[in-house]
């Protein structure tokens, strides 16, 4: 297993993410039906199928892969998730300037993605959005990086923290996005965007561990 993350990792991550999203499409749809438009699973599935169709095995670096993901999601995914994830991947691509990323690079990439989501969605933690998954993911990755851990360890820690963050949205009152229209009826449901964020980070860690 390589210590650092390469272009091959990025390609494997996105291919794996497409499969995982397709497998959990109905789960994401059901979560979104409870507090949103009900289209999150369909939109994400369509978007990542379009991304995989455009993936180029000859991509020169991690940044170019992430930039392609960003552009494709922005052009094919409707609803709020297209612009949010498009911006997240675009910012991440700018942070991933090195062809091989270590744990500090992973933390920088997640930080940039989170900044993009916050800038686009104007959300903060505790509002029952994907920010509630990205924020603990960043803290976990930074902790591993500070301790001298590997890129793979940073990604797995980020994925685990994102999953816990997604589950922590269940008792929250939504105050951003369409879910906020429901008021107290939004309580008791897991946020679909936080769930797909955790799924994406889990597949990133899976791809890293398989290197």
pLDDT digits 0-9 by tens, 15-67:
999 999 999 999 999 999 999 889 999 999 999 999 999 998 788 899 999 99
Q: Give me the chain's average pLDDT, please.
A: 93
- Return the CA Rg of the chain: 16
Q: Find how far residue 46's CA is from the centre of its chain.
A: 16
For residues 191-208, give the mean pLDDT: 97
Q: Give the pLDDT confidence of 93-125 residue by residue, as tens digits.
A: 999 966 789 999 999 999 999 999 999 999 999
Domains parsed from the chain with CATH numbers? 7-209 (1.25.40.340)
Structure-block tokens of residue 189: 């449901």
pTM of the model: 0.95
Closest CA to 202 of 148, 165, 170: 165
DSSP string, 73-137: HHHH--TTHHHHHHHHHHHHHHH--SSSB-HHHHHHHHHHHHHHHHHHH---TTSSSTHHHHHHH
Structure-block tokens of residue 17: 């993410």
Bridge partners for 201 per DSSP: none
Q: How confident is the model at residue 199 (pLDDT cuts 50, 70, 90)?
A: very high
Burial 78-106 (b: 16+ CB within 10 A, else e): ebbbbbbbbbbbbbbbebbeeeebbbbbb
Residues 6 or more apart from 211 whose CB is under 8 A from it? 1, 2, 5, 6, 8, 9, 12, 152
For residues 82-89, give the mean pLDDT: 96
Structure-block tokens of residue 72: 């494709």
């Amino acid at each position: 297993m390589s210590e650092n993350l390469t272009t091959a990792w990025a390609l494997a991550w996105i291919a794996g993410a497409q499969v995982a999203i397709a497998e959990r499409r109905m789960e994401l749809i059901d979560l979104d039906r409870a507090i949103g438009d009900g289209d999150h699973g369909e939109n994400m599935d369509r978007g990542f199928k379009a991304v995989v169709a455009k993936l180029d095995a000859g991509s020169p670096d991690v940044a170019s892969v992430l930039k392609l993901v960003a552009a494709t999601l922005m052009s094919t995914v409707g609803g709020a998730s297209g612009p949010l994830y498009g911006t997240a991947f675009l910012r991440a691509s700018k942070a991933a300037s090195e062809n091989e990323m270590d744990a500090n690079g992973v933390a920088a990439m997640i930080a940039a993605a989170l900044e993009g989501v916050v800038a686009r969605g104007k959300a903060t933690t505790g509002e029952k959005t994907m920010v509630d998954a990205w924020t603990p993911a960043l803290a976990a990755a930074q902790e591993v990086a500070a301790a001298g851990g590997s890129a793979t360890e940073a990604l797995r820690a980020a994925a685990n923290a994102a999953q816990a963050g997604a589950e922590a949205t269940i008792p929250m009152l939504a105050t951003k996005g369409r879910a906020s229209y429901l008021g107290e009826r939004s309580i008791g449901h897991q946020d679909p965007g936080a769930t797909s964020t955790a799924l994406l980070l889990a597949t990133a860690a899976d791809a890293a561990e398989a290197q």
